[in-house]
Copies of this chain bind each other. A is one copy, B any other.
Amino acid sequence: MGTVANGKQVKKIKSLLAIQSEVQSSNRIALSVDCVIFGFDENKLKVLLMRSDLKKYQSKWSLLGDLVKPDEDLDAAAYRILKQRTGLDDVYLEQVHSFGKINRHPGGRVVTVAYCSLINIQHHKLKILDNELHWHDVASVKDLAFDHKTIFDLSLQRLQKRVQEHPLGFSLLPNKFSLRELQNLYEAILSIKLDRRNFRKKFFAMNFLVDMDEIEQNLPHRPGKLYKFDYDKYEKNKKKWSGIDF
């Protein structure tokens, strides 16, 4: 009972158990975050993947993930992990869903929380692109490590839905973009063809596009005007169109 075992192992016990008093330590579980980072390039929707950490999965690509630390906010962990894996620290992350099947991870019991983000590939040249990270065409993502294909599929679905309710797409485009680029983006995300005239009508009606008085350069045909997304105008006109299908 009162006997105290000396040595490293006992220290381990104490540090393990000290943090949380009322919560039984035997019930603790490893928790990870996996980030689904979408980009848009060459008129295709892309997703940023990394080579799996684990040997068993070395041949497969995986989402950008890592364990959450016990003294770290869940959201903060997502930002930390993204920063760590890519160097990116100025992007918005949004929680998608948590995945907790018992054997989803070969290294043991790990529950993971998926986050997703939209980034502009041009503006965010990845600092850490040492062959461990790669932008994949969303359309050609086949199997990923662990259950990451499931996570990716749900995240894509979520993106498709979100983008029809809110003007999120802009974070995937350069600051100045033509309406054709914008339409290409929506077509890529939703995997559908849209009518050009109706598309333009709808976006102009929403009243958050600002004409930059510039046109596209170096095209072998008539160039389009360039616009930017005005966040303040968006906030002001929100209620009028929020929830409308694009």
Contact = CB atoms under 8 A, between A and B. Distances in A.
A241 to B, nearest CB: 14
A217 interface: no
A22 B101 contact: no
A148 to B, nearest CB: 16
A101 B113 contact: no
Interface stretch (A66-74, A117-125, A132-140, A187-195): A66-74
Given A6-B5, A12-B13, A98-B98, A27 B108 contact: no
Interface in A77-117: 77, 95, 97-102, 105-111, 113
Contacts of A106: 22
* Total copies of this chain within the assembly: 2
Interface residues of A, number: 50
A26 B99 CA distance: 21
B68 A27 contact: yes
A69 B100 CA distance: 11
Interface of A: 3-7, 9-10, 12-13, 15-16, 19-31, 54, 67-75, 77, 95, 97-102, 105-111, 113
26 contacts: A5-B10, A9-B9, A9-B10, A12-B13, A13-B13, A16-B16, A16-B26, A20-B107, A21-B108, A22-B106, A22-B108, A26-B70, A27-B68, A27-B70, A28-B28, A28-B30, A29-B70, A31-B100, A68-B100, A70-B109, A71-B109, A74-B100, A74-B101, A75-B100, A95-B97, A98-B113
